[in-house]
């Protein structure tokens, strides 16, 4: 593997070596099934319960509110489809800039007879409160608004939207997958405001792939997507991925401990990066809004984002165009389009997502590489236009 500078922490993070260390026994000698009654099984059950406590503590929830799953996508699908499955079809409202794993299940429900509303955002990427109030007054059964956007890092005022939803008897779900480990999360406070469920994923904060959670206040009955044994309070059948769950717990504990230091560090790097990008004439999307400390989404007018990403990759920097999950699609990002960005400019979007191990020197080297790459690409574009 080449030693390129990793600037794509919103796609996934490197597994923290200390997290790996805690996982290793559960991939070798501690192989029991947590449902078994013997000592091997009991040890695995204790490890899962211990991880449940750590995840709960990191986000201000009760351990009994944590349902372990395999991915953040599964957590979002479980609440949206599982809660609506128990209700007679009515309305469902989601933010216009949600991740595809919220958009697609919502669209699936729309095909089954649910009316789907998208809550519009302003040019800064924030959901418009007045438009939201108008839609929520029509009493959708469920409202889903993400805490932090994966492409722009823009934060939503989830507590206010949840309070609005509660006043209108709507269930409220939030995708907190990008927020976890980057900003403080307090499920108790969110729950008091009206949030019923919150999705988390381990691989975004130094944990392994294959572990995630739905934090869920039990007020809404939900139908499992995977039916079978009574695992995870009957909401997710299947023998638990013990090693990944152990790693998730450890990653949450470590992230909570280091949160303010890491946020401060990435915020400083982000500011340096943005200043440099703006000097290069590249607009930064969502800059006016409160955002995750580590995320910068920019575009170079007239340059295609996919091309820029591959040139930067060759120059030794791993960044992404749009969100990782949609980067095989040539369509401009739905997030930027919802913010009113012109399609041509949106097609040029590049996301840099920093981690605490990144350095000032790496940011400066990136800015230099971006400057050179942009000037070369602009020359090539000019030649192509003349031909």
Please tell me the distance from the alpha carbon of residue 72 to that of residue 254, in angstroms, as a whole number: 19
**Nearest residue (CB) to ligand PLP, 210 versus 316:** 210
**Nearest residue (CB) to ligand PLP, 51 versus 300:** 51
Closest Cα partner for 304 from 373, 228, 219, 232? 373
Please tell me the distance from the alpha carbon of residue 121 to that of residue 339, in angstroms, as a whole number: 6
Write down the catalytic residue from 132, 252, 297, 325. Answer: 325
Q: How far is the CB of 325 from ligand PLP (least distance, A)?
A: 5
Please tell me the distance from the alpha carbon of residue 128 to that of residue 99, in angstroms, as a whole number: 18
Total count of residues recorded for the chain? 387
**Nearest residue (CB) to ligand PLP, 74 versus 217:** 74
**Nearest residue (CB) to ligand PLP, 187 versus 311:** 187
- Among all chains, which residue has been given the structure tokens 């790097």? 269
List interacting residues with ligand PLP (CB under 6 A).
71-73, 99, 101, 146, 150, 175, 177-178, 201, 212, 324-325
Q: How far is the CB of 31 from ligand PLP (least distance, A)?
A: 25
Q: Judge contact between 217 and 199, C-beta under 8 A.
A: no
Q: How far is the CB of 177 from ligand PLP (least distance, A)?
A: 4
Q: Judge contact between 60 and 185, C-beta under 8 A.
A: yes
Q: How far is the CB of 318 from ligand PLP (least distance, A)?
A: 15
**Nearest residue (CB) to ligand PLP, 325 versus 369:** 325
Q: How far is the CB of 181 from ligand PLP (least distance, A)?
A: 12
DSSP string, 87-132: S-S-EEEEETT--HHHHHHHHHHHHTT-EEEEE-B-TTSPBPHHHH
Closest Cα partner for 94 from 68, 77, 63, 117? 117
386 noted as active-site residue: no
Q: Please name every residue paired with 118 in a beta bridge, in sequence order, or none if there are none.
A: 94
Residue with the CB atom nearest ligand PLP in the bound state: 72
Please tell me the distance from the alpha carbon of residue 358 to that of residue 170, in angstroms, as a whole number: 42
Known catalytic residues are 325
């Amino acid at each position: 593997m080449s030693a390129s500078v990793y600037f794509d922490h919103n796609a996934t993070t490197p597994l923290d070596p200390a997290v790996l260390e805690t996982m290793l026994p559960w991939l070798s000698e501690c192989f029991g099934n947590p449902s078994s009654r013997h000592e091997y099984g009991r040890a695995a059950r204790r490890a899962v319960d211990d991880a449940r406590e750590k995840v709960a503590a990191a986000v201000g929830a009760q351990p009994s509110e944590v349902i372990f799953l395999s991915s953040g996508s599964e957590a979002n699908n479980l609440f949206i489809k599982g809660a609506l499955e128990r209700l007679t079809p009515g309305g469902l409202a989601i933010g216009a800039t949600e991740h595809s794993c919220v958009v697609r299940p919502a669209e699936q429900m729309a095909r089954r007879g649910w009316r789907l509303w998208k809550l519009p955002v302003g040019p800064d990427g924030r959901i418009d409160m007045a438009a939201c109030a108008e839609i929520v007054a029509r009493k959708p059964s469920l409202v889903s608004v993400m805490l932090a956007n994966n492409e722009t890092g823009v934060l939503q005022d989830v507590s206010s939207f949840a309070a609005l939803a509660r006043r209108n008897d709507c269930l409220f779900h939030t995708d907190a997958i990008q927020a976890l480990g980057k900003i403080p999360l307090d499920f108790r406070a969110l729950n008091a405001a009206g949030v019923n469920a919150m999705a988390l994923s381990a691989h975004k904060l130094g944990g392994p792939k294959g572990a995630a959670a739905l934090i869920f206040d039990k007020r809404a009955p939900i139908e499992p997507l995977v039916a079978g044994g009574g695992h995870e309070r009957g909401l997710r059948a299947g023998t638990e991925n013990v090693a990944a769950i152990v790693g998730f717990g450890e990653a949450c504990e470590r992230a909570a401990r280091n949160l303010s230091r890491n946020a401060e560090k990435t915020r400083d790097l982000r500011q340096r990066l943005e200043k440099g990008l703006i000097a290069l004439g590249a607009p930064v999307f969502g800059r006016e809004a409160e955002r995750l400390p580590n995320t910068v989404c920019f575009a170079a007018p007239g340059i295609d984002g996919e091309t820029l990403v591959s040139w930067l990759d060759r120059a030794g920097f791993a960044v992404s165009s749009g969100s990782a999950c949609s980067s095989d699609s040539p369509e401009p990002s739905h997030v930027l389009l919802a913010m009113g960005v012109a399609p041509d400019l949106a097609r040029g979007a590049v996301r840099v997502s920093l981690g605490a191990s990144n350095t000032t020197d790496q940011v400066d080297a990136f800015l230099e590489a971006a400057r050179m790459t942009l000037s070369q690409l602009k020359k090539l574009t000019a030649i192509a236009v003349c031909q």
